[in-house]
Amino acid sequence: MAMHGDEQSLIERFFRPLGGARGDVPLGIGDDAAVLHPAPGFELVVTTDALIEGAHFLAGADPRSLGHRALAVNLSDIAAMGATPCWATLALALPVSDESWLQPFCTGFAALLSRHCVSLVGGNLARGALNITVQLIGQARAGQAVRRSGALPGHMLALTGTVGDAAAGLALHRGQLQSGHPSVATELCQRFEYPQARVAFGAQLGALAHAAIDISDGLWRDAGRLLAQSGCGAVIDAERLPLSRALRTAAGDAAALRYALHGGEDYELLIAFPASNWEPLQALAAATDTPLAHIGDCTEARSLRLICAGVETTVAEAGFDHFR
């Protein structure tokens, strides 16, 4: 369904230049569909994710950040599969054809596309309540896509980056958390507005991780998903959780732990793997400039437990509320 008059010309002006220069896109935006040449010996990895006003951001959110986040959340899904992102489509509903919104939105979207050599191959623009739906196709070597279900008792659990920062950044932004340190507030807000999907690290996980998930709804909930799909449990050591200095400064140690366990929007990766792969994973982390922390181990018992200073701690289930 092609768009009309001004929408058609907006697609030409704003979306078509995001086609990039991949050699495997013989036909991009501008026909009934795009044509892509998948690489022989690879499998496709496909995800879709939307940012919706009221559910994932508030009215008036910075469009450049939205452009970045809409792509980042999909990049993170592809990274969690051990795949390399290749081709994206973008379906955008906008209440009005507002170029002063579209320009910074596309700047944020394009910068991240370009950084990871992803081509925008399909674009749809229509009037409606603000809704940004991205679909992303990646490629993994045949048989090497990493699922959530491959963790086994005895596997180590490791986490990239730090967790809790994005949720604290959002809380600061919404006035639910105060920080006396402007630089701390800026750092945490950046983690929410410009999450960095672990693309380079994720793309090489296929040979090393047996299970992976990206942390979008909080470590505790997403770890629970990985373990449930794997049919095992785990013990996580609270003292090993990677907390940023900014988060500790802004929230204090106790609240920092709650943000780390239950805050969402981190887009870090949780992986499970046999201890024999810990060294090559550390080498991969170093080579891709990715902090990586061993936070716990998988167990036969199907529960997820938190240990703090050697003592088991009760964790209240409390998810991230996505503005609800």
Among 188, 213, 241, 284, indicate the residue that binds a second copy (CB under 8 A).
213
Q: How far is the CB of 121 from a second copy (least distance, A)?
A: 6
Q: How far is the CB of 192 from a second copy (least distance, A)?
A: 14
Q: Report the site for a second copy in 32-51 (rule: CB under 8 A).
A: 32-38, 40, 43-50
Name the H helices within 117-244: 165-173, 182-193, 199-202, 219-230
* Shortest Å distance, C-beta 212 to a second copy: 7
- Residue number with CB closer to a second copy (215 or 250): 215
Q: Phi and psi at residue 95, in whole multiples of 5°? A: -65, -40
The footprint of a second copy on this chain (CB under 8 A) covers a number of residues equal to: 72
- 3-class secondary structure, 253: helix
11 contacts a second copy (rule: CB under 8 A) = no
Q: Which residues, in sequence order, are CB contacts of 184 under 8 Å at separation 6+?
A: 246, 249, 250
Residue 60 within binding range of a second copy, rule CB under 8 A: no
Dump the DSSP string for 168-199.
HHHHHHTTSS--S-HHHHHHHHHHHHS----H
Please give the residues from 144 up to 183 whose contact with a second copy meets the rule CB under 8 A. 145, 147-149
Binding mask 119-148 for a second copy (x = CB under 8 A): --xxxx-xxxx-x-x-x-xx-x-x--x-xx
For residues 13 and 127, which CB has a smaller minimum distance to a second copy in the complex?
127
CA dihedral 185, 190, 195, 199 (to 10 degrees): -110
User: Which CB sits closer to a second copy, 69 or 246?
Assistant: 69
| Paired sense of beta strands 233-237 and 304-308, if any | parallel
Site for a second copy contains 296 (CB under 8 A):
no
Instruction: Give one word for 30, left, alpha or beta, with left for phi > 0 and alpha for psi -120 to 50.
Output: left
Token reading at 296: 């716990």
| Closer Cβ to a second copy, 187 or 214, answer by number | 214
Contact call for residue 216 and a second copy (CB under 8 A): yes
By CB under 8 A, the residues from 86 to 115 that bind a second copy are 87, 89-91, 93
Nearest CB to a second copy, comparing residues 81 and 250: 81
Q: Does 318 bind a second copy (CB under 8 A)?
A: no
- End-to-end CA, the chain: 33
Q: How far apart are CA 259 and CA 245, in angstroms?
A: 13
Q: Measured from the CB atom, is 86 or 293 closer to a second copy?
A: 86
Q: Which of the ranges 163-171, 221-229, 233-241, 255-263 carries the binding residues for a second copy, by CB under 8 A?
A: 221-229
Query: Between 45 and 157, whose beta carbon lies closer to a second copy?
Result: 45
DSSP 320: -
| Contact (Cβ atoms closer than 8 angstroms) between residue 110 and residue 66 | no
